Amino acid sequence: DQQVKQNSPSLSVQEGRISILNCDYTNSMFDYFLWYKKYPAEGPTFLISISSIKDKNEDGRFTVFLNKSAKHLSLHIVPSQPGDSAVYFCAARGDSKLTFGKGITLSVRP
C-alpha cells in the first residue's frame, strides 16, 4: 500500500512560469513533509519541509502548501529555471522514518 503518492510522473514548464508539483498521502499520523530534488548519479538533496501543524512554508522561490483535510501537499516553484530540471520526491515522516513517493521528473524549457 503506497502511503505517499505522486500521481504525475512528469511535468514540463516554460522558464519563468510556475511549476506545481503535487503529492497525496494516506497516513494522518505523518508529522512532517519534505521535498527532495535528485539529479542522476547523486543522492537526494533537501529542498523544503513543512510541519503538519502548518499550512504553508516559503523559502525563496519554493513554497510548500499543506491541506491536511485533503491529505494533499504541493510544491510551487516560481519562477522556474532550467536548473530546476530534476526528479522531485515528496516524503513524509512518521516514527522518525521517511516514506517517499515515486517522484516526478520536472523539465523546465528555456
Partner 1 sequence: SAVISQKPSRDICQRGTSLTIQCQVDSQVTMMFWYRQQPGQSLTLIATANQGSEATYESGFVIDKFPISRPNLTFSTLTVSNMSPEDSSIYLCSVETFGPYYTFGSGTRLTVV
Which parts of this chain interact with partner 1 (CB under 8 A)? 4, 32, 34, 36, 41-46, 49, 89, 91, 93, 96-103
Please say which residue, 33 or 80, places its beta carbon nearer to partner 1. 33
CB of 14 to partner 1, least distance (A): 26
**Closest to partner 1 by CB, 8 or 14:** 8
Cα–Cα dist 75/31, whole Å: 17
Q: How far is the CB of 75 from partner 1 (least distance, A)?
A: 16
The residue (of 46 and 109) whose beta carbon lies closer to partner 1 is 46
CB of 32: closest distance to partner 1 in angstroms?
5
